[in-house]
Amino acid sequence: MASASSRTQPLDVPGYVPREAPLVKLVVAGGFGVGKTTLVASVSEMQSLHTEQTLTAVSASVDLLDYTPQKTTTTVAADFGRLTLDPEDPTAPVIYLFGTPGQARFQRVWDDVVYGAKGALLLLDLRRPEASYEAMDLVERSGIPYVVAVNDFPEAPYVKDSALRARLDLGEETPLIHCNARNPHSSIDALIQLVEHVMTTYSRDVAR
């Protein structure tokens, strides 16, 4: 059996860093095909985990692929990835990132996936923002701080942030940002903005 002292020794595992860092659970939410799985996979420092199932003819009338014709699978439970915000700083937060399923029929797993999350990145595709409305409702009902992140698909129309904020009826305390889910730098930047928003929200609530 491992003694207390041997447990604190570095494990001989590539990539393992002993640390006192806080673990922060965050979720990536949004409608069907907005890029949740893509974002989790692009930022994860470990091989990300996914629960993808092939889209079949049975769901063709529900899971519309008009905007993502190359998409062949959908998430049925969750995505999981991990990201160390600052590998040089052993006290920097380590993010445990969970991607949610996009369709209403998988809502039963929502509570489980979101349980314990400190914040949510709500992804939006400007070609069909309404696809993320249901997820936005769920995030708001869960009461966790969130950031709306427009996943900038090249074919998406230009919409002024102020117009989008009005359309989403977004409170002024909720940040609206842009990202490219396929680009790790852009996606990490979006998560950093979410972490900052979470920290601001929690310290404001504590001060009240």
Nearest approach in angstroms of CB 1 to ligand GTP is: 42
Nearest to 53 by CA among 39, 72, 32: 72
Beta bridge partners of 24: 95
Q: In whole angstroms, give the CA distance from residue 189 to residue 177.
A: 10
Angle in degrees, 0-180, between the axes of helices 184-207 and 36-43, rounded to the nearest 10? 100
Judged by CB, which is closer to ligand GTP: 36, or 118?
36
**26, 30, 36, 148: which one binds Mg ion (CB under 5 A):** 36
Using CB under 6 A as the criterion, what x/- string covers residues 96-115 for binding ligand GTP? -----xx-------------
Residue 76 contacts residue 50 (beta carbons within 8 Å):
no
Amino acid 76 reads V
Nearest approach in angstroms of CB 33 to Mg ion is: 8
Which residue's Cβ has the minimum distance to ligand GTP? 102
By CB under 6 A, what part of segment 181-200 binds ligand GTP?
181-182
**24, 27, 32, 119: which one binds ligand GTP (CB under 6 A):** 32
Residues 6+ apart with CB under 8 A from 188: 43, 83
Say whether residue 44 binds ligand GTP (CB under 6 A). no
Q: In whole angstroms, give the CA distance from residue 48 to residue 116.
A: 20
Question: Binds 131, which of Mg ion, ligand GTP, none (CB < 5 to 8 A, cut-off by type)?
Answer: none
**26, 33, 81, 118: which one binds ligand GTP (CB under 6 A):** 33
Say whether residue 34 binds ligand GTP (CB under 6 A). yes
Residue 13 contacts residue 25 (beta carbons within 8 Å):
no
**42, 44, 48, 75: which one binds Mg ion (CB under 5 A):** 75
Judged by CB, which is closer to Mg ion: 75, or 180?
75
Name the region of 11 (left: φ>0; alpha: ψ -120 to 50; beta: rest): beta
Q: In whole angstroms, give the CA distance from residue 21 to residue 79.
A: 22
Judged by CB, which is closer to Mg ion: 106, or 146?
106
Q: In whole angstroms, give the CA distance from residue 98 to residue 80.
A: 5
Binding stretches for ligand GTP (CB under 6 A): 30, 32-38, 68, 70-71, 74-75, 101-102, 151, 153-154, 180-182
Binding stretches for Mg ion (CB under 5 A): 36-37, 75
